[in-house]
């Protein structure tokens, strides 16, 4: 049987480990959310770049031409 001081230390250690595991799980969820957000932003960026390329392509045809 453990001495009361040792039992108290083991319980405190277990609490700390549980807190660290909870924090780790929270960080893992946050990381996944950031990955999802980043993926969405990259997709949006591709759309904007594609639209800009389309517009710039129209402007390329206007070199010195009168409308």
Tokens for 17, please give them: 């480990």
- Cα 24 from Cα 30, distance rounded (Å): 10
All residue ranges of the chain with pLDDT < 50 are none
Summary mean pLDDT of the chain: 91
Q: Which residue is associated with the tokens 């949006």?
A: 44
Under 8 Å between Cβ of 2 and 10: yes
pLDDT at position 61 is 76
């Amino acid at each position: 049987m453990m001495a009361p001081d040792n039992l108290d230390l083991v319980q405190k250690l277990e609490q700390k480990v549980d807190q660290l595991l909870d924090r780790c799980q929270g960080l893992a969820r946050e990381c996944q959310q950031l990955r999802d957000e980043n993926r969405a932003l990259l997709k949006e960026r591709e759309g904007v770049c594609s639209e800009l390329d389309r517009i710039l392509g129209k402007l390329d045809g206007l070199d010195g031409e009168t409308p």
